[in-house]
Amino acid sequence: MSPKGESGLKKKGCCATNKCLIFLCFVVSLGITALIVVALLVMNVRGRFPPEQKWWQKTIVYQIYPRSFQDSDGDGIGDLNGIISRLDYFNYLGVDAIWISPVYESPMIDFGYDISNFTKVDPMFGSMENMKTLIKEAHARNLRVILDFVPNHSSNKHPWFIKSELREDPYTDYYIWHDTAPNNWHSVFGGSAWGWSDVRKQYYYHAFLPEQPDLNYRNPAVREEMKNSVDFWGRMGIDGLRVDAIPYLFESTNVSLNEPPSNLPGFTSEQWEYYDHLYTANLPEINDAIQEWSDVLRKYDNSDDDTDNSKFMVVEIYAVPSIRNAYYTNGADMPFNMDLVEGSYPSCNASCIKKLVEIEYNTLPEGKWPNFVMGNHDRSRLTSKRGITTSGKTYTNVLNMLLLTLRGTPTCYYGDELGMEDVDTISFEDTQDPYGLHFGTSAYKNFSRDPERTPMQWDESPQAGFTNSSHPWLPLNQNHTFINVQYEKNASHITPLKVYRALAKLRQEPAFLYGSFDFRYTDDNVISYVRSASGYSSYLVVINVGTETGTIDFKTPYDYQEGTVKVTTGNFDHEDYALDSTIKLDKIILQPAEGLVILLP
């Protein structure tokens, strides 16, 4: 017998040996490992291990303009106690985070964006005690509180500016001073950005109103002061900051440089848009400052328990992706993506909206989180922007349907959930907004932000439940008799509030929270897309944001046979797409402003 044969015999008889036991053990443990791996894979596919998401990736951010949300003391101006009294509304709505525009001490020339004390609450809004209560009461309702942080400028009534005008150290260089108005730099609000101080007999730089002098970020003492402000609010227990006007933090030190014309059509040399802001916007130095605030704020991240207590920072910017996305890299969680603020005007049809959404997804830096904004206190309300269809329907529901079903954090402006509209009838005499007033009687309407800042419409009573005063700071929209929370909540038919609520609830499903996003049929009127997370339900969203009927076949190209209506804009002239009905997907017909979210089998 060949040695080979011998060895073969030996092998055959090995079962009784130690080697054989080891081999058996090896096979068994391999089998068990394989089973565990398969089980884990199945669980993962079924979504048992969703990607870890921070709270700000899962919530709607709801912007409160505090002057206009709820007045508690009858002066016609909203306040902190007013907000506290309405906190339950957010639980009802399905919103887990509120951003409150500035409530700090201010002469209110720019309604709080001109701050005279960064760590004090203006008495008009209440006290620090009220703020503490607000934070506590919000947290008791699992609601996060994001405050506005306005670092670029202070009020000209801030003690720092007053002392700077007097050349009192260390404040002498807290602002940007020159003997002459050295160049053509313009204010965002129009006119020269150089204001004259009769006290100091020098010019100072202001990117916004003359009453909002820019702080000098090249002065380390200023940097320290602003870090201390962030620290103050971090200690106070806030959950995040919305950072105002981030592009304007630094200006070139070479003031001999004039800004060239932008050549944008339709602007006069008096306007900011007329110039290309090479020396006054988006300077690279901004990154370090943001990082400093972020480091301070994140000291207050608290991971001692299971709760996600990470702090959040979003920076305000209107810019193309190549510019805004740079702000993802310096400690901010995200820059606002304002593309849909313009994209919700009728000049942007469905194909244009699709392009804007694609731009956000395709340009997003690796590992970063997308976001979308459609309205805020500086721009016309979304319902007013897009107008009405020939049959008199507003686009409120389709726009909210879009915003709340996209992948990424949506930021919503108070009242847009109701379909509140701009108040366009405010006379020049009654206009409050300095930006509007700057352009005089003939043009103020093109610039005033008062129309979108009118009081929240809570009910149909004479002051809409906003105030007991007969003189709210801005007039109420007369349509508050039928566009208000109480009516829209209790109506027997589908209302914008009900649609918004249904969408907010649905957003909590994995498909919307973190699922994939894939466009389906789109033309100039209709947009459709599918959201899905493996192991969970998938949804088809189809909306008509256009002016013509859309007829869509989802069967031929995508093989979708039928689905169940889970959210409807409710403004259909027929019953075919009623809530919870199962509908055929080979021919969906949508009139302008109609939309559906359909559960796919």
Cα(492)–Cα(420) distance, integer angstroms: 20
Alpha-carbon gap, residue 54 to 311, rounded angstroms:
9
Q: Is 173 in the site for ligand NOJ (CB under 6 A)?
A: no
CA distance 390 to 407: 31
Query: Count residues contacting Mg ion (CB under 5 A)?
Result: 3
Full DSSP string of 358-422: HHHHHHPPTT---EEE---TTS--HHHHH-B-TTS-BSHHHHHHHHHHSSSEEEEETTTTTT---
- Could you tell me the smallest distance in angstroms from the CB atom of residue 65 to ligand NOJ? 9
Pick the closer one to Mg ion by CB: 152 or 405. Answer: 152
Q: Residue 539 Cβ, how far from ligand NOJ at the closest point, in Å?
A: 34
End-to-end CA distance of the chain: 67
Tokens of 166: 């007097």
CB nearer to ligand NOJ: give 245 or 289: 245
Decide which of ligand NOJ, Mg ion, none touches 450; Cβ closer than 5 to 8 Å per partner kind: none
214 touches which of Mg ion, ligand NOJ, none (CB within 5 to 8 A by kind)? Answer: Mg ion
Rounded Cα distance, 57 and 60, in Å: 8
316 is catalytic: yes
Query: What are the tokens at 269?
Result: 């040399």
Neighbours of 181 (CB within 10 A): 17
Distance CA(171)–CA(181), nearest Å, equals 21
Per-residue DSSP letter, 19: H
Cα separation, 295 vs 330, in Å, equals 10
Q: How far is CA 112 from CA 162, 170, 362, 367, 419, in A?
A: 18, 26, 36, 35, 26
Smallest CA-to-CA distance from 539 within 561, 565, 502 is with 565
Question: Which residue, 592, 551, 597, 596, is CA-closest to 393?
Answer: 592
| 155 binds, options ligand NOJ, Mg ion, none, Cβ within 5 to 8 A by partner type | none
Q: Which does 560 bind (CB under 5 to 8 A by kind): ligand NOJ, Mg ion, none?
A: none
Contact indicator for 422, 409 with CB cutoff of 8 Å: no
Residue 152 or 383: the one with the smaller Cβ distance to Mg ion is 152
Q: Which does 487 bind (CB under 5 to 8 A by kind): ligand NOJ, Mg ion, none?
A: none
Taking CB under 6 A as the rule, which mask of x and - marks residues 441-460 in contact with ligand NOJ? Answer: --------------------
Nearest to 479 by CA among 449, 444, 454, 497: 454
Pick one of ligand NOJ, Mg ion, none as the site partner of residue 108 (Cβ within 5 to 8 A by kind).
Answer: none
* Sole binder of ligand NOJ in the list 113, 272, 279, 458 (CB under 6 A): 113
Q: How far is CA 38 from the centre of its chain?
A: 40
Minimum distance, C-beta of residue 207 to Mg ion, in the bound complex (Å): 5
Shortest Cβ distance from residue 207 to ligand NOJ (Å)? 8
- Clarify whether 168 is annotated catalytic: no
The interface with Mg ion within residues 111-170 (CB under 5 A) comprises 152
> Does residue 140 sit in helix, strand or coil?
helix
In angstroms, give the least distance from the CB of 384 to ligand NOJ.
18
The footprint of ligand NOJ on residues 289-328 (CB under 6 A) is: 316
Report what 417 binds from Mg ion, ligand NOJ, none; CB cut-off 5-8 Å by kind. Answer: none
Angle at 252 between CA 247 and CA 258, to 5 degrees: 100
Site for Mg ion contains 214 (CB under 5 A)? yes
**Interface positions, 564-593, toward Mg ion (CB under 5 A):** none
Q: Can you tell me which of 149, 203, 205, 208 binds ligand NOJ, judged by CB under 6 A? A: 208
Q: How far is the CB of 537 from ligand NOJ (least distance, A)?
A: 38
| Residue among 248 and 336 whose Cβ is closer to Mg ion | 248
Q: Is 110 in the site for ligand NOJ (CB under 6 A)?
A: yes
Q: Which is nearer to ligand NOJ, 338 or 590 (CB)?
A: 338
Angle, to 10 degrees, between the axis of helix 286-298 and the axis of helix 220-235?
30
Q: Give the nearest distance from C-beta 190 to ligand NOJ in angstroms.
A: 12
What residues have CB less than 8 Å from 318, skipping those under 6 apart?
A: 336, 338, 341
In angstroms, the CA 512 to CA 58 distance is 9
**Torsion 480-428-414-140 (CA) sign:** negative
C-alpha span between 598 and 542 (Å, rounded): 8
User: Among ligand NOJ, Mg ion, none, what binds residue 110 when CB lies within 5 to 8 Å by partner kind?
Assistant: ligand NOJ
Contact with ligand NOJ (CB under 6 A): which of 231, 288, 292, 378? 378
Query: Which position among 122, 211, 244, 339 bears the catalytic label?
Result: 244
The Cα 310–Cα 284 span in angstroms is 26
Q: What single letter denotes the amino acid at residue 191?
A: G
Report d(CA 342, CA 319) in Å as an integer. 11
Stretch binding Mg ion (CB under 5 A), from 112-120, 214-222, 527-535, 555-563: 214-222
Q: Is 96 in the site for Mg ion (CB under 5 A)?
A: no
> Which residue in the list 165, 214, 251, 316 is annotated as catalytic?
316
- Binding site partner of 594, from ligand NOJ, Mg ion, none, Cβ cut-off 5-8 A by kind: none
Q: Which of residues 241-280 bind ligand NOJ (CB under 6 A)?
A: 244-245
Question: Residue with the closest Cβ to ligand NOJ?
Answer: 113
Least separation in angstroms between CB 449 and ligand NOJ = 7
DSSP structural state of residue 463: T
Render the burial of 436-463: b for 16+ CB within 10 Å, e for the rest: bbbbeeeebbebbbbbbbbbbbbbeeeb
Beta bridge pairs of residue 552: 588
The contact pattern for ligand NOJ, residues 136-165, with x = CB under 6 A and - = no contact, is --------------x---------------
CA distances from 466 to 86, 242, 431, 498 (A): 11, 25, 20, 21
Nearest approach, Cβ of residue 439 and ligand NOJ (Å) = 15
Does 64 bind ligand NOJ (CB under 6 A)? Our answer is no
Closest to Mg ion by CB, 152 or 155: 152
Q: How many residues line the site for ligand NOJ (CB under 6 A)? A: 9
Nearer to ligand NOJ, 122 or 244 (CB): 244
Q: How far is the CB of 285 from Mg ion (least distance, A)?
A: 10
Q: Which residues are catalytic?
A: 244, 316
Residues near Mg ion, by CB under 5 A: 152, 214, 248
Residues near ligand NOJ, by CB under 6 A: 110, 113, 150, 208, 244-245, 316, 377-378
